[in-house]
Amino acid sequence: MLSAVSLWLTEIGYRVSVIGRSKQRHHHLVKKAADPTLINNLSLDYNNHSLLEDKVRKAIQQNGPISLVISWIPSKQSLDIVNKLVSEYIDDWKLYQVKGSRRYFNDDILNVPSNCTHSSIYLGFIIEGNQSRWLTNNEIAEGVIKSIQDEKAESIIGRLHPYEKRPNY
């Protein structure tokens, strides 16, 4: 879903560590990169907290501090681990937290470190005629990139209202 965001970040000079369970998807992402050496695979299930902590810490030690996190991690505990580790190694950093539409209306409180600028990006839906649909991966990636460029504290990609018009509601 966020592979185009990862590729865009490498194009503007970031070294990108990607957390994911699928080695095949990572391989596909690396093949698309203009500079494959800028993409670091952290192959794991982010719900395995000890492995998450170990791999993120090693990525920071090998590649340097993380200044920007784009997170689609629904697990608050997993994101808390990432936040803690990133904050240990850098003075100021940014977190763009991508969230599903339901979290706009009922969200967990995230403990954001004092050295972090936090932005929420909510994923909505599109209404086309009399029907609605979820956002495509491309629409999500374009919206996330725009949110990063605009540096807003809160962004909505698509729409969240009327709530009862959501697909499969």
Residue with tokens 């972090």: 116
Paired tokens of 119:
């932005």
Those residues whose C-beta lies under 8 Å from the C-beta of residue 108, and which sit 6 or more positions away, are 76
The interaxial angle of helices 3-11 and 23-32, nearest 10 deg, is 40
Q: Nearest CA to 123 among 78, 71, 47?
A: 71
In three-state secondary structure terms, 116 is strand
Q: pLDDT tens digits, residue range 49-98?
A: 999 999 999 999 999 999 999 999 878 899 999 999 999 999 999 999 99
Domains of the chain: 3-165 (3.40.50.720)
132 and 165 Cβ atoms separated by less than 8 Å: yes
User: Could you tell me the pTM of the whole model?
Assistant: 0.91
Q: pLDDT tens digits, residue range 8-60?
A: 999 999 999 999 888 888 889 999 999 999 999 998 888 999 999 999 999 99
